[in-house]
Structure 1
């Protein structure tokens, strides 16, 4: 009886996980409901438990930005990089300000910083591990109503931006996750079936 109950629970969990993977979407429009930092940290901690390098160390660190002041500073740096590289120079200043305000209105940013230690091969393995962890985090967050968008804009590779964000030598930004509670789930886009991209030997 106990074995049957365990099997039933396992099947339920498997179905739930499959549903999470299929239903999760990138979220770019967030609700005004406050984002629970406690829940974010709890889910991040859970995702982080699965990723360690050969030294038993998590190969990254995080910067959580949720205060208005912190977000304004981050957005100011982003817009400075755009100006430095003459990106969006065709935009009227009013539109640029609207863009900045839209980013600031996002409930929280999570900056993921990789610690680049060891050989190039090891850094690549660490990067893959970090990406796997972030995928787990996105599913765990989605399960409790938190959506996110994985941001990899060119400004993250700008040295002045990295320095202003407090990065040390030998560190790089993997991504900045923009996060918040979601109310509407975007419609899924047509995906290429995996079976069209696989070969068998």
Structure 2
């Protein structure tokens, strides 16, 4: 393995760590912590694929679902396209509204899930690096109270820059430290059968 290979491997590891930090912030329901992982003004998009369907090659009994006899048209629905600042504000406003309405999960007014957990598959994540630019495709699954609700792929674009150039929210490790940050993000997801229209997935990605 050459020095260049070692350097590339280190960057791949750093990018996968950043992806894990992204999921940690989501699972902690911490919008500000999430925002610090992004460039200011980074673009965010969420797409939903329909119809609902079980994951391919699902092996577990709780993932096996009967196929519908009738054919349903495939379509891609744009849920949201915005910047990270607006998205974080939506998350904060949504959380504030739920607190005011007393929606605390399964036992609250909204009858939503008590526990939402988003899980990346970093072993299957595909990372590509070109100098100060990188991309990654990362499969993920989201569970509501331990039951698979939806699954899909996050597609990230990253930039590598000095922390001092980020300023404000992004200044963490020190103004002279280089760091990877998310420059753009698109999520594509599909619900499993039986969860169409269920509440809860609007809480986060």
TM-score, structure 2 as length reference: 0.28
Max Rg structure: 1
More strand by share: 2
TM-score, structure 1 as length reference: 0.28
Higher RCO structure (Cα 8 Å, ≥6 apart): 1
